[in-house]
Amino acid sequence: MATTKFDSLSQTAGVVSTFNSVIALDDIGLADRVIRQNIPTKKQFVDPYRQGLIIEGGVGYRQTVVIRSYEVGPDKTATLESILNLLQETALNHVWMSGLLGNGFGATHGMVRNNLIWVVSRMQVQVDHYPIWGEIVEIDTWVGASGKNGMRRDWLIRSQATGHIFALLKIYIWNSTWVMMNQETRRLSKIPEEVRGEISPWFTEKQAIKEDLLEKIDKLDSNAKYVDSNLKPKRSDLDMNHHVNNVKYVRWMLETIPDRFLQSHQLSTIILEYRKECGSSDIVESLCEPEEGEIYKDRIQQDNDITLLNGFSLASEILEGHGLLGPSDKEPLRYTHLLQSKGHPKNEEIVRGRTTWKKKLSTIPYST
């Protein structure tokens, strides 16, 4: 019965002719999964189901998405966590359309044969505006080489409705560096030649964020101003590689930012440096320290000492004297973060981070 059922399914869906996988005839579950996923083995240029298409001369990928109600926060704008999840999904769909996707979490066929998985080593996000509920956005993504054993992936998100107005404005940008890890030993690995041969034809020199000299992120200790202890990963926090997904780290970090500050400010930049993967049994501690020297002086453009108000340049001290800068305007704009797993005899770093914030435009007072 098993063989007959599989043969029928194969003839109906064209599995035998479409896929190069060797499937046991009595493994109906595996056969059913192959049919349901329908992973292409050749490069696809258009994916009508995911609203995606290949761009950038055949190496980039663009996907159109709608911001759903469950992806926004109380202010009806998309949360950073939702944005990062969308970017991650777009990256996986890019690999899907390339025809290189194996049965892993974005892993190529060569990676699967070598028991390798992708892990993020560094991530940088710049945000100018956040999409709103119901807005249609276009996400572009592409990849490039990063050193001898890494890969860089970039994203850019724009509003479809106002794209012509902000054609030169990079509304969201995410730059990340990925390296390979052996799934069994959990150790970093060099890129095998067969894997390099798979992915290198997709490499491009284009970058969303210009690489500057990396600013050191200091390691925090238990004396940090804000501490959230005894964080325990949930089963829902684990991805297909059986470790806590990197997007969850961002949630743990941002939970330490004071609520009062979040009501008047939005995240502008986040930089993360990953040191160790986090498993389901780890107990995590989130540390956060404000950089007190970074005070919000310019309500429109960060890092300026003057503000344009009704066409005149006014120093921040003058604005403060006229009551136009309140207590929240003096909050630190940069925070240093650390996630660590609590252990004996010592704690181990999971990820270091730095966040930069700016005033929400909707909360800026204007003179009449």
3-state secondary structure of 299: coil
The alpha-carbon radius of gyration of the chain (Å, integer) is 23
Q: Which of 94, 175, 246, 278 is catalytic?
A: 278
- With contact defined as beta carbons under 8 Å apart, do 241 and 105 qualify? yes
Q: Which of 85, 115, 241, 347 is catalytic?
A: 241
Question: Residues 179, 180, 186, 190: is their CA dihedral positive or negative?
Answer: negative
Q: Give yes or no: 241 in active site.
A: yes
**First and final C-alpha spacing in the chain:** 80
- Other CB atoms within 10 Å distance of the CB of residue 25: 13
Closest-CA residue to 123 (of 209, 58, 204): 209
Q: Give yes or no: 93 in active site.
A: no
Identify the burial level of 303 via C-beta atoms within 10 angstroms of its C-beta, where 0-12 means exposed, 13-18 middle and 19 or more buried.
exposed
Question: Residues 307, 309, 311, 315: is their CA dihedral positive or negative?
Answer: negative
Q: Which of 109, 243, 265, 337 is catalytic?
A: 243
Q: So which residues are the catalytic ones?
A: 241, 243, 278
